[in-house]
Amino acid sequence: MKHAQPFSLPLIAAAVGLAAALASPLALAQVYRCESDTGVPVYQGTPSGKNCRALDMAPLTTIPAPRLPAGAGKP
């Protein structure tokens, strides 16, 4: 019986890098504020509706979680 070869670290790193590169354009998507037919504000990804304008939004920032004190994660 043959065992399957485990994935190598460079292959996994390349896959993660490729996934991050493909996901990055999604983070740069434009958001538009439009009005519905009744005048209610609608936020969407395409400028379809009345009085649409692109919103100037600050980029998202991630903050890492604080480190646990030594030995705090052990039972």
The pLDDT of residue 63: 84
- pLDDT-flagged residues of the chain (< 50): none
The pLDDT of residue 34: 95
The pLDDT of residue 20: 60
Separation CA 26–CA 54 (nearest Å): 16
Helix ranges (DSSP H) in 1-75: 9-27
The pLDDT of residue 38: 92
The pLDDT of residue 58: 79
The pLDDT of residue 52: 95
The pLDDT of residue 28: 60
